[in-house]
Chains A and B, each alone.
Chain A
Amino acid sequence: MTTLPTTRATRAPLVRPPLSPPSLARAASTIVWRNLLHIRRMPEMLLDVTVQSVMFVLLFAYVFGGAIAVAGSDYREFLLPGIMVQTMVFSSAVVATGLTNDLQKGIVDRFRSLPIPRSAVLVGRSISSLIHSSIGVAVMGLTGLLIGWRIRNGVVDGVLAFLLLLLFGFAVIWLGIWVGSIMRTVEAVQGFMFTVMFPLTFVANTFAPTESMPTWLRFVAEWNPISAVTQACRELWGNGLPAPADAAWPLQHAVPVSVGWSLLLTAVFAPLAVSAFRRRSRD
């Protein structure tokens, strides 16, 4: 006898089957599946790396672009690598909001009550964020092709630049996990990321050459990791001249320096992120 309105005779108790708790790879890919399902259900989640980035492209290519002089290249060619790096940087905001949301809604607790490897939640989150921003980069590439951007240096260099973008994206994801673990609400994360990410992506060579900036600002911009990665992509794709002789050292060696920045950022933020996440999910 039960008061639940049940009709069918499916009341035989469930018999516990053998459990085979998943490996890190299986658990993480399950979580990736779940995160991607979110994107499919709510395509508007992609707005930040698609429509928003396309708007940046159009705004700079057609509104501001005419006023920005670029030596040795068409402005649109110059712009595209910058926007792609910006899109990658935004993946840190994507991972941060996703993580805060899961922490807030108790989803992380649900995962942690299951016999899965501890790191599966973060690994799954990072991978799906990389996929998220890669979708953005693909959209950027197509937009770029439409307005005249081309990869001019052959396949190997072309692919290398994309790998560099992914590596840098991986590095900033740790920043996102760190911020996402510290902040209590999605709104706080968005506010923080907006205030930090926008200046960071603008005080760089993303939208305009650094040569015309005041000396001190130029110094900051040229040491900004975003500039090195942007310069590296431009060089690898053949979208502009090498950095001028008076540019700071990182821009003179953009490709190796970008790799270095990515490793350094990972080395700094990954431990911070992991310990913040652990602390957050201990109480």
Chain B
Amino acid sequence: MGGTAAVEAVDLVKHFGTNRAVDGVSFVVPEGTVLGLLGPNGAGKTTLVRMLTTLSVPTSGTGRVAGFDVVTQPNEVRRSMGLTGQAATVDEILTGAENLRLVGALYGLPRAYVRDATERLLDRFDLTDAADRMAKTYSGGMRRRLDLAVSLLAAPPILFLDEPTTGLDPKSRSGLWAVLRELVDEGTTLLLTTQYLEEADQLADEIVVVDKGKVIAAGTPTQLKDEAGRASVVITLTHARDLAAAADLVRAHSPEVHVDRTGRRVTARAGGLGDMTRIAAAFEASGIELDDLGLARPSLDDVFLHLTGHRAEDAEDTEEAEPGPITEGAAP
């Protein structure tokens, strides 16, 4: 892939009045790779994507897509990329097929190509049966898939996806991930934003963590996990009344112990398997009943907590009631 930059942000800034929505963000997405912009609600992800896709004019800084400047060469940028925004932008009154036809005509694509691509995209996104129904009859997931199909119509070499799986059920989510992996295999460069730590972990080659308009960390998923520190032992009790006793017991083996009352869980920083075995033996001897005891590697959730001091979920302004991020592992 030669390492050419498909997308470049150089000290991008966007202020809305006194609100520094994006406050000096820089990164590079090499051709053919996936960059995950990870951050909680209000971090500035959408604003960044809007600047890079010519929808919003930066207060200062430079954005380049396929080598074209987003401010001075917007039409070249628009020709080089596809965008699936945070809110689905399908025309509800048009059918699925008509939505594709509309955008095909606006790209100036040959009719025969649009017909063929429409059939294939509708098939790929499992919308063939709904092709001739008005999009307002679609479910949220179907609208998102149609929106993505529309962005892919002109087979753009660079694709921007703003929270592509927010609000999707886990099955649709993994289905979408599969499609995105196929696109990457075909050589598409992807820039996706997400609040889901797992999503960035699953898809991205490189993650840029943003919070309050600033980059607070960047690296591969593995690098970020290493940064968050060592593993922890997670103990789930059978009875909540044993929590205090259990915490005391664990404190003898670990300097850092966390008690989660509702989850009946005690979490302890641990050096590794040796610590875990010692803690397990201590419980064995104490007679406290356990549901589970295990070693948890740090998840990106922990990374986020480590970097920002707050969890990704407790962002101040969660406007939409959406299902929370799905995280695996036993992190409290």
Contact = CB atoms under 8 A, between A and B. Distances in A.
A34 interface: yes
B178 A110 contact: no
B332 interface: no
Contact of B78 (A41, A107, A114): A114
Contacts of A112: 54-55
Interface string B84-99: 0101110111100010
Nearest to B182: A2
A119 B109 CA distance: 20
A14 to B, nearest CB: 4
A111 interface: yes
B105 to A, nearest CB: 4
Given A2-B182, A5-B126, A34 B94 contact: yes
Contacts of A67: none
B123 A115 contact: no
A84 B325 CA distance: 57
A111 B150 CA distance: 12
Contacts of A17: 109-110, 113, 154-155
A281 B54 CA distance: 10
A59 to B, nearest CB: 32
B152 A30 contact: no
A21 B88 contact: no
Contacts of B134: 41
Contact of A282 (B57, B155, B171, B179): B57
A19 B79 contact: yes
A15 B187 CA distance: 11
Contacts of A156: none
B83 interface: yes
Interface in B31-55: 50, 53-55
Contact of B105 (A6, A22, A113): A22
Chain A: number of interface residues, binned into ranges: 35 or more
A21 B107 contact: yes
- Most chain-A Cβ atoms within 10 A of its Cβ — which of B50, B98, B102? B102
Interface string A85-129: 000000000000000000001110111111110000000000000
Contact of B108 (A13, A20, A38): A20
A2 B155 contact: no
B56 A14 contact: no
Given A3-B174, A16-B154, A114-B103, A106 B93 contact: no
Contacts, number: 119
B124 A6 contact: yes
A33 B99 CA distance: 12
A212 to B, nearest CB: 46
Interface string A9-33: 0110111111111100011001101
Contacts of A5: 126, 175
A37 interface: yes
Contacts of A115: 75, 78-79, 107-108
B125 interface: yes
Contact of A3 (B113, B121, B125, B171): B171
A269 B156 CA distance: 38
Contact of A107 (B55, B89, B125): B89
Given A10-B119, A109-B55, A4 B89 contact: no
Contact of A2 (B117, B152, B175): B175
Contacts of B182: 2, 11
Ranked 9 nearest A-B pairs via Cβ: A106-B89, A16-B155, A110-B89, A20-B108, A14-B155, A2-B178, A115-B78, A13-B186, A4-B175
Given A4-B125, A38-B93, 10 more contacts: A2-B179, A4-B179, A11-B182, A17-B109, A19-B107, A30-B102, A113-B55, A113-B81, A115-B75, A115-B108
18 contacts: A1-B178, A2-B178, A3-B174, A4-B126, A4-B179, A8-B123, A10-B124, A14-B121, A17-B110, A17-B154, A19-B79, A26-B105, A31-B106, A42-B93, A107-B89, A113-B55, A113-B78, A115-B78
